Every structure is written in structure tokens, then in C-alpha cells.
Amino acid sequence: MAKDETQGFRLIGTRPDRPDGLDKVTGRARYGADISAPGMLHAAVVRSPHAHARIVKIDASKALALPGVKAVITRADLPTGLTGEDWNLQENTLAGEKALYDGHAVAAVAATTKLIAQDAAKLVEVTYEVLPHVTDVDAAMAAGAPVIRAGTADHSVPEGMHPNVVKYIDFGHGDVEAGFAAADLVRAQSYKTEATHQGYIEPHACMAQMGSDDRGEMWVCTQGHWYIRRMSAAVLGVDASKLRVTPSEIGGGFGGKTTIFMEPLALALSKKAGGRPVKLVMSRSEVLRATGPTASASMDVKLGMKKDGTLTAAKVMFRMQGGPYIGSSPVGEALSCALACYDVPNVMHEGYEVLANRPKAAAYRAPGSPMAAFAVESLLDEMCRELGLDPLKVRLKNAAREGTKSSYGPTYNRIGLVESLEATMAHKNLLAPLGPNQGRGVASGFWFNHGGETSVSLAIGEDGTVTVSVGTPDIGGSRASIALMTGECLGIPYEKVRVNVVETGALGVNEPTHGSRATFASGLAAVEAARQAMAEMCRRAAAEWDIDPEAVEWRDGAAHPAGPNAGKFPPMSIAEIGAKMGGSGGPISGHHEVTAGGFGASFGVHVVDVEVDPETGRTTVLRYLVVQDAGRAIHPAYVEGQYQGGAAQGIGWALNEEYVYGADGRLQNTVFLDYRIPVASDLPMIDTVIVEVPNPGHPYGVRGVGETGITPPLPALANAIHAATGARLRSLPMSPPKVLAAIKAKAGG
Amino acid sequence: MSRIHVTTTVNGDAVEFLADPRDSLLDCLRDQLNLTGSKEGCGTGDCGACSVTVDGTLVCSCLVLGVEAEGKRIETVEGMAKGNDLHPLQRKFIEHAALQCGFCTPGILVAAKALLAENPDPSESEIRFWLAGNLCRCTGYDKIIHAVQDAAAEMRGA
Ligand code: FES
Ligand code: FES
């Protein structure tokens, strides 16, 4: 069975059409809101217009009196006694004593039509006692800030902090003070980033049905249907196995669809309405007001550097709010990512998680890493300029490599930051001439990647074709890449493998498609399952040839006698084995389940050229380059797509996107017109270079590729804007008014 | 509120449905006619996922009332392929990996088809500005632009 799996691939690295392409270009693909069922009701949610308010009374009598209304639910319909994150999820699904942010759900209605449900929602009378609120992270920590929920803080928080400070983290190694003393230049700065939203174009949507026996079914757009099942079951107090959750095609997630926001409401409404199916689809403004944006951050960074660019010490202090519940902000990840690109002997990280009257934050692509990179990579750039050093050479000089003890603890195995920096330095974009008001910025970025709980099954068909069942919803082409790996392993054509994303009843528990794990972990499990099936097929051939199974080898999609001593038998193809399997021992399948370790860290380097209009402060991206280590690009077109999509989101975060809260604590920009994500005319082509430093922890060398790309754009753009204008922006987004003010302040000062 | 009877043509087929005066054309296509290819990303005319043509004019169907469809010719993504023959744009989108989640794809295909009907040889920047009303959060637009350029070239016979 010896096969060189590091080179000479037949399928890996090719770019076949994706299996779901035809359905998606013809409009046939079915997303969350695209299915209906007989007798189906429609739901609408009543949401708090206040950032912080005690719920005094909810009167649904007028709503219930409206013809066509079948059920209204409030928190009183949900079980009590939940604790920890389950309580947080229940509280976020439907407010209890207090509404904690603008848009917080307080009741839900099911009716025979969408319009009646919406009308009925307006008839639910909620009496609020409005309380003082706070939405800014620094303000929420300050003395006198309104207390969001006393007693939330865990034991880590030092005495004397405001009760909104709920978690403190610190870790590091070396002696930072000695490190700063040994530096030629020590600089410290503070940075702020606003919350942004994942901005998937498909709003959350589900259709659910649950009977009085608590058995339920759900169709839902999600990155992880086992998470939906477990969380919904916990919120409703039912057994997880009573729920069967089927994922729809998913219209983007970026981390935001790894948790529940409203799914238990559909189940509870269905049960209350006699088990009729209920469809619940969010509007865009509900998505923006009430589903997971990322955290907002306030950060201090201090770096020490020698004249030659060597980093001697680094210290970071991050404060992040992720809404009104503990554990929603990615402060721990942000700290761990902050200095992960570099080999710094002395590092110290500290962070606080803070509660605020904002929606419960969810994961967003490389959670925490973009903010951290904005702070660290901006200061690094400033110091390179001050010392007259090339920012790429300084990054290369300090780059983490195999054997480096990472800033967050573990020692790296084979990683590709050095190769990525070298590929960047050799790229033609660095030679492009720059004109007046133009500037170039560079930055590096990091993400851990992830393995996680994974269960995959594979079955050989009667005609020798192969079906793979995976539990990771396909957001960006993972069915294609898993089919390529399976076909590669079995020696059969790509077209002979069908990969299905299956429901919760069909496999063991799978974590969501998150952390850049689907192609890595489901791919790894599919390859292991294929190897099992392959071994069984060799046994079937051996039995028929009456030789030892050890004397059979698998290659080119067929069993072969392993050598001249094994006997002279013509190869037995997978199709022949499949056709005969009923009589040769029964169905042939493979199955693998694992909590996948061995994921390989991901590094990338971005270079951006901008032009800043000195009259308006508007930044135009002229040229953009993404260089990133993929480990191995299984389907390079979809790897490039991840790089380009990540860069576009990062550009949006850097230049435009932000949550804007009014003095009343209400979100001001609740539609795409005001929460403006990059459009086609905002961007240039995005150049990509795929570096391949194979991950030793995967049979084909795969690292995840999805996350890292959103990280470098934030600092790269800040660095480019500085290069173009001389003005240093330390707060995101770098919108035209802010850039203009910074240019003017510089001219004035 | 009483519903209004609407007779119209969708993708060449005569259809009729009952519309609440508040229903958008998008609601009617999706909920009454089961044409769920057109998507709702915003309902406010900002994302283009609901793009269709009405008498040849590109519109956001979430901003058109269902009752306005009376007597019109509506074309949606479901009408782009002729049987199993995909429109060149559809083929090129698959070939160029111009979709990831695919949720924006129906609207972008309809909008791009309308562009090429008006301008068979658009420049990169003309494509970018024409599609500026169609949000895609996944791709960074790069491969979408390439796919449109390639489809345009094929349709010109270039
Ligand atoms: S749904 Fe019509 S423009 Fe977004
Ligand atoms: S492919 Fe996902 S929004 Fe465009």
C-alpha cells in the first residue's frame, strides 16, 4: 500500500467544478428560508427597543386575539434553573427579568402568515422600566458605570474592579522588564477597534416542528447542527436525542452561525401551536441588532526593539466587551494571537473581559486575532520607521519558525511564516511605483486553526462509487475538497465520490465548520474511513483469490496481487468488488471518528497599496496581495477564494464597518445601506500566493485556510495610510472623516 | 386585508397568484410561486440578492410590490438556463469558482446578464460599478469579475 502522499498527486491540487455548483447557479440550492411544510406557521419576534430595561409586564392578549395567531411565547414558557453558558444562551434567546441590549428578544409569535405574525408582534404590549446603559468597553469598566449583572465576575478578577469586569487573564514568559531594558527603542501605544458584524448575506432562518412529546425536527442554516441541537435542547430542557437537526445550504457564516439566536423559539412555538411546523426568518436589522457581532476592543501595546530590529520584549493589555454575558468575547484568543508571529524572548499578556449593553458576541473569522494584529502590527510598523528599518525584513528577522516557543505557550512544529515572508518579498507588487498620496503597508497575521470532534462515514456503492457522509456544513467548497482527498486516497475519479452533509441522526457528534477545520478534520477522517474501506476491499479480493490479505495491495482504484509471489490474478476493480459485496461478506464501508489534533498553525502576510484623497480622507485600495501558507491546497481555487474573501472582510473592518450606538444605546446602523460592507467597486483584484509548507498532522498536509486572511488587513491598511499621509490612525474604522481629521491634526501639529 | 389577484408572466410561463397589497414581488415569487432562487438578504434594496428583471429592467424584487407585477414579464435566475443548457454566465461562475456560499449568486447572475445585454464588452471597472448593488461577503468579488469577463468574451465569440 506504499504510496507517496507528499507529491505526485492525481487529484489534489486540481480545480474541478464543485459538486453543488449546478444547484447554486440555477437557484435550486435550498437555504434556510427556502423550504416550507404543510400546515406551516410563520413566526415573528418582539424585541426590546431599549439597551437596558427591566421587563415589568408582557401582555399578549391583543396579539392572541388577532385572527390567525396560534401561539405567543415569553420567557415564562421556558424551563428555569439553567446555569452557566446554557443560562446565557437561554437568556439571550428570550430575555428574563431585563432586556440587556437594543434588539434583545422578549417574546415570539406564530401565526398563519408572515404578515399576521408581524402584525401580532406589534400588538404584544411590553412594559419596560428603562435603566441606565453602557455600550463602550472603557466606559463599562469605569467607576459609576451601570451594573449589567452583579455577581457575574469569576474568581480571576482582581479586587476593586467594576462588577462589569468579569474575567481577567494573564500569561507570559521571560522577564519583560529586563527585555525592555535591553532594547534600544521602547514604544507604547493604545488602540481601539469597533465591533463589526460577520455580514453573511443570508439572514438566520429555520423551520422547526416539535410535538407535545418533545420530539422535534429542525431545518436550519448553521455552521454546526450538533451545536444547534445541544444548545436548543438545553434551552428548552429536552433531551438532545429528541431533536433531529438537518442543515440547509448555508449563505455564509464566518463564525456567526456556530451558535443559536432564535432556533429554540421556533421549536417552542411549534409545540405550543399543537406541533405545526414554524418558519422563523430574521430580517437584516434583526441580524445586525441581535446576532453575534464581534467584540469591540481597547488595547495597550508596548514593544522593545534593538537597533537591528530584534524584538526584545512585548507586553499587551487588552480590554474587550462581547455583550452582556461572560465568555462571549474572544479576549483569550486575542491575547494568544497577539505576538504569535514572532519569536520574542520576553512576553507578557493581560486581558479583561467586560460586560456591556450590546448583543452577545459570536465568533467572527479568527476571533480576536484581527484586533490584536491591528495593535501589535501597527506599533511594529511605527518602530521600524523610527529606526529606518524595512518592515518585512524586521518581520523575517523575528519570525517564529519550527522549534520556536510560541508567545502563547506551545512550541511550533513545521510552520510557514518564513516561507510566506520570503514569497512576499519576491512578489512583483513590491516593485510597483507609488505616486503622490499613495502608500504601501504590510502586516502579518496568525490563526491557530482547529481540529475538533469529527465523525465521518463512507460507503462503497453497488457500482463501486463512493458516498461520504460528513457533519461539517459546506460553506466554501469543502465538499469538493473532501471528494478530491477521498478520490485521491482510493485511486478513483473525483466524479465517483459524492460527499453529503448529513443530519444529526446520521453520525456521531461533529463540531461546526469553524476554526478552519472542515477540510482539515473532515478531510482527515474521510481519508481514514477510505483506508478502512480499502483494507476491507483488499480482504474481499484476497478471499476470492484465496491468498493472504497481506499479499494484496490497493492502487489505481483496484486490488492487485502485491507481487509475483502473490499469484497471477487480474486486478479487481472497486466496481467489481462493489457489485459482488453482497455475496462476499456484506456492505463495505469505513468510518472514522476522532477529536482531531495535529492541526497546523496558519500564518499569512499581506501587502496593500492605497491612495488617500487629502481633500476627503477617503482611502482607495489600489493593489492588494495575500500570501499565506495553506499547508497543502487541495482545491486551489477555493483556497484563493478564502484568501480573497478574508482580505475583503478585513478591508471592510479597517475602512468602513462599525457598530454605531446612539446616546440612547440603540444601534444606529441596522441596514446594509448604513452598515456598509465592501462592494465590488470598492476593491481591486486581490492577488494571492499560496505557500505550501505541509502540515505533518494531516495525511495530505492540509492546514486550515479560512481564518488568517481577515487578520492582516487591519494593520496593513493603517500602515499604508500612514505611509501615504504621515498620519497614524490608532482607532478603527479608518473612515474618511477620521483620516481627514488625522491628516489635519498632523498638519496643524 | 383582502388579497389582490395578479396575472403575470414569469420566465415565459403565465402565472397567477393572490397578493396582499403589502407583499413584495420577492415574497410573491418565493412564497406564492415557490421560486425560491431569488434570495432575501436585506429586504431594503441594499444587497441585490433578490435581483430580477421586470420587462427587461433590472430591479430589486424586494422593492417592487407583488401587485405591480400585473401584466409584466418577470425573469428570475430560474429562467436563465434553457433546459439543461446553462447560460454562459452560469457555466463561467462554476468554472471560475466565483461562488462560495452561493447565496449572492442568483442575484449577481441576473444582474450580470442585464449588464451584458446592455454592454457586451464591459471593462473591469464597468462590471464593478454595475455590480456595486450586489453584495457578496464571501469572495472579495475577484473571481466574480473574472467570471463575468470570461462569459462576456465567450458571448461576443471572442
Ligand atoms: S433583498 Fe432585495 S436588495 Fe436585498
Ligand atoms: S458567495 Fe457567499 S455571499 Fe457571495
- Is A637 in Cβ contact with B102 (below 8 Å)? no
Taking CA atoms, B127 is separated from A641, A681, A717, B120, in Å, by: 19, 8, 25, 11
pLDDT digits (tens, 9 = 90+) for A142-186: 999 999 999 999 999 999 999 999 999 999 999 999 999 999 999
Q: How high is the mean pLDDT of chain A?
A: 96
- Is B109 in Cβ contact with A203 (below 8 Å)? no
Amino acid found at B51: S
Using left for φ > 0, alpha for ψ between -120 and 50, and beta otherwise, residue A262 falls in: alpha
Q: Are residues A403 and A457 in the same domain?
A: no
The predicted structure's pLDDT at residue A747: 83
All cell numbers assigned to A686? 486581490
Q: Are residues A639 and A572 in the same domain?
A: no
d(CA A481, CA A18) in angstroms, rounded, equals: 9
> What is the β-pairing status of strands A311-321 and A347-354?
parallel
Q: Starting at the earlier edge strand, list the strands of the sheet with A497-501.
A: A497-501, A466-470, A452-460, A589-596
Amino acid found at B147: A
- pLDDT > 80? residue A197: yes
Q: Are residues A467 and A567 in the same domain?
A: yes
B68 forms beta bridges with none
Taking CA atoms, A225 is separated from A501, A510, A667, in Å, by: 10, 8, 30
Does residue A654 form part of some domain? yes
Burial class (CB in 10 A: 0-12, 13-18, 19+), B93: buried
Within 8 A of B138 by CB-CB distance, chain A residues are 252, 475-476, 641, 645
The CATH number corresponding to B4-79 among 3.40.1390.30, 3.10.20.30, 3.30.540.10, 3.40.50.720 equals 3.10.20.30
The predicted structure's pLDDT at residue A130: 98
d(CA B4, CA B7) in angstroms, rounded, equals: 10
d(CA B146, CA B142) in angstroms, rounded, equals: 6
The predicted structure's pLDDT at residue A566: 85
Q: Are residues A473 and A414 in the same domain?
A: no
Q: Are residues A708 and A617 in the same domain?
A: yes
pLDDT digits (tens, 9 = 90+) for A292-309: 999 999 999 999 999 999
Residue A626 DSSP SS3? strand
**Reported confidence tier of residue A7, pLDDT bands at 50, 70, 90:** low
| Cα-to-centroid distance, A257 and ligand 2 (Å) | 15
Does residue A336 form part of some domain? no
A399 forms beta bridges with A342
- Is A685 in Cβ contact with B142 (below 8 Å)? yes
> Which candidate in A18, A35, A116, A201 is best for mutational testing of the B interface (most B CBs within 10 A)?
A201
d(CA A420, CA A393) in angstroms, rounded, equals: 12
Q: Whole-model pTM? A: 0.97
Contacts with B, A 608-647, CB within 8 Å: 635, 637-638, 640-642, 644-647
Question: Can you tell me which residue has the cell 520607521?
Answer: A385
d(CA B155, CA A477) in angstroms, rounded, equals: 27
d(CA A488, CA A412) in angstroms, rounded, equals: 29
Does residue A263 form part of some domain? no
Q: Which ligand is closest in space to the CA of residue B102?
A: 2
Measured in degrees and rounded to the nearest 5, phi and psi for residue A101 equal -160, 160
Contacts with B, A 381-440, CB within 8 Å: none
All cell numbers assigned to B37? 432562487
Q: Using alpha carbons, select from A357, A462, A402, A454 the residue that is nearest to residue A130.
A: A357
Burial class (CB in 10 A: 0-12, 13-18, 19+), A61: exposed
Q: Are residues A617 and A681 in the same domain?
A: yes
pLDDT digits (tens, 9 = 90+) for A563-595: 888 889 999 999 999 999 999 999 999 999 999
| DSSP string across A647-662 | HHHHHHHHHT----B-
Mean pLDDT of A118-126: 98
Q: Which ligand is closest in space to the CA of residue B61?
A: 1
- The total domain count for chain A is 2
The predicted structure's pLDDT at residue A565: 85
- pLDDT > 70? residue A486: yes
Output the residue whose Cα is nearest ligand 2's atom 4: B136
- Is A202 in Cβ contact with B103 (below 8 Å)? yes
Q: Are residues A394 and A466 in the same domain?
A: no
Q: Are residues A487 and A427 in the same domain?
A: no
The predicted structure's pLDDT at residue A622: 98
Domain ranges of chain B: 4-79, 88-156
Q: Which domain holds residue A696?
A: 390-447+601-748
Q: Are residues A744 and A618 in the same domain?
A: yes
Q: Are residues A547 and A608 in the same domain?
A: no
Mean pLDDT of A237-252: 98
Q: Which residues of A531-555 are buried (b: 16+ CB within 10 A; e: fewer)?
A: bebbebbbbbbbebbebebebbbbe
* Cβ count near A345 (within 10 Å): 17
Does residue A411 form part of some domain? yes
Of residues A29, A33, A648, nearest to B40 (C-beta) = A33
Q: State the first-to-last Cα distance of chain B, in angstroms, to the nearest integer.
A: 54
| Cα-to-centroid distance, A560 and ligand 2 (Å) | 45
Distance from B128 to chain A by nearest Cα, in Å?
5
- pLDDT > 70? residue B57: yes
- pLDDT > 90? residue A52: yes
Final residue before a domain boundary, out of A553, A575, A596:
A596
C-alpha angle with apex B110: B104 to B116, nearest 5 degrees? Answer: 125
Does residue A250 form part of some domain? no
* Percent of chain A residues past pLDDT 70, beyond the cut: 99
Query: Do A529 and A590 meet the contact criterion of CB atoms below 8 Å apart?
Result: yes
| Cα-to-centroid distance, B24 and ligand 1 (Å) | 11
CB within 8 A of B12, min separation 6: which ones?
B79
CATH architecture of B88-156: Orthogonal Bundle (1.10)
Final residue before a domain boundary, out of A571, A596, A621:
A596
CATH number at residue A548: 3.30.365.10
The predicted structure's pLDDT at residue A749: 55
- pLDDT > 80? residue A2: no
CB within 8 A of A261, min separation 6: which ones?
A92, A93, A204, A282, A290, A291, A292
> Which candidate in B137, B139, B143, B149 is best for mutational testing of the A interface (most A CBs within 10 A)?
B137
Q: Are residues A579 and A632 in the same domain?
A: no
Final residue before a domain boundary, out of A570, A596, A622:
A596
d(CA A517, CA A474) in angstroms, rounded, equals: 11
| Structure letter (DSSP) for residue A709 | G
Taking CA atoms, A735 is separated from A193, A200, A504, A730, in Å, by: 12, 22, 44, 12
**Reported confidence tier of residue A748, pLDDT bands at 50, 70, 90:** confident
The predicted structure's pLDDT at residue A476: 86
The sign of the CA dihedral A403, A405, A411, A413 is negative
pLDDT digits (tens, 9 = 90+) for A325-339: 999 999 999 999 999
* Cβ count near A471 (within 10 Å): 30
- Does the predicted interface ipTM exceed a cut of 0.90? yes
Measured in degrees and rounded to the nearest 5, phi and psi for residue A417 equal -70, -45
pLDDT digits (tens, 9 = 90+) for A422-471: 999 999 999 999 999 999 999 999 999 999 999 999 999 999 999 999 99
* Percent of chain A residues past pLDDT 90, beyond the cut: 96
Q: Are residues A552 and A502 in the same domain?
A: yes
The predicted structure's pLDDT at residue A8: 86
pLDDT digits (tens, 9 = 90+) for B109-123: 999 999 999 999 999
Does residue A79 form part of some domain? no
Amino acid found at A726: G
* Cβ count near B55 (within 10 Å): 11
Length of chain B: 158
Mean pLDDT of A113-131: 98
